A = this chain, B = another copy of it.
Amino acid sequence: MSPRVVRTITDCRAALAGLRAGRRVAFVPTMGALHEGHLSLVDLARTKADVVVVSVFVNPAQFAPGEDFERYPRDLERDVRLLARRGATLVFAPEVEEMYPEPLLTRVAMHGITDDLEGARRPGHFDGVLTVVAKLFHIIEPEVAVFGQKDAQQAAAIRRMVADLDFPVEIVVGATARDPDGLALSSRNAYLSEAERREALALRSALGRAESLAAEGVADAAPLLAAMREELSRHPGIDVDYVALVERDTFRPVDRLTSPAVAAVAARIGGTRLIDNVVIEPHAG
């Protein structure tokens, strides 16, 4: 059954008033251009609640100046068709003017978790994400919200925002979906040529090097980072943005693996910027 599509905050709240009636609501925020990664989050949401709301909103506030807001892929009809197959209940797809009828004087701001990595390279990105997620939480009032581990720093920031501001929402983070060859799914993969797509596999293989070394008992950050950099350096088409090993919750750099850490990488391939990460557990032995 096709999900109902609403375009305004008023319609969204009215639809939810009817749907809720004591049932749990799960929410999956997206920017559309849906792929199996998003859809796996919808599947996860369905295991957590009776009603699944998906937002499709390309949020200008989370694009830094000069980023790809204009050319970001948009195809709501296709998105709704895909969501119908996965049992989403309601799609909230507002226009920019509906979400930002006048300039926002208020924003949700964070420091610490969001200072480095994506935060340092994409000015205003995380404040834009946190602010729109706060708005969406207030519009949809979900019991559960589902985010992807692919955006690991975002997931950590959202968890902290929810804890700091006491949002009555449980945050669930779903695993990164990958193509069979290991490439993390991303709406921005659509920008890649065939040759660039092959080069992009180096992100996953670099992370794999760190995983393997950690499994062999290497716990110091320096050799793990060096191995990732070395792997990426073999691919001349890849322009490395960062390689990092950070605490999962705080995103502070770690010198040595003692608790689960995030190995993260960002790189440009042609004109396309991609990110990927894996959670690395400290060696049991």
Contacts and interface: CB of A to CB of B under 8 A. Distances in A.
Contact of A165 (B109, B113, B135, B168): B135
A9 interface: yes
A110 interface: yes
Contact of A110 (B106, B112, B135): B106
B164 A105 contact: yes
A113 B105 contact: yes
A13 B131 CA distance: 24
Interface in A127-181: 130-131, 134-135, 138-139, 141, 160-161, 164-168
B168 A106 contact: no
A234 interface: no
Contacts of A160: 105-106
A112 B108 contact: no
**Complex copy number for this chain:** 2
A195 interface: no
A71 interface: no
B134 A165 contact: yes
Contact of A164 (B106, B139, B165, B166): B106
Interface in A96-111: 104-111
A104 B164 contact: yes
B167 A138 contact: yes
Contacts of A109: 106-109
Given A105-B160, A160-B105, A138 B165 contact: yes
A9 B163 CA distance: 12
Contacts of A9: 166
A166 B105 contact: no
6 contacts: A105-B164, A106-B164, A108-B109, A135-B166, A138-B166, A139-B166
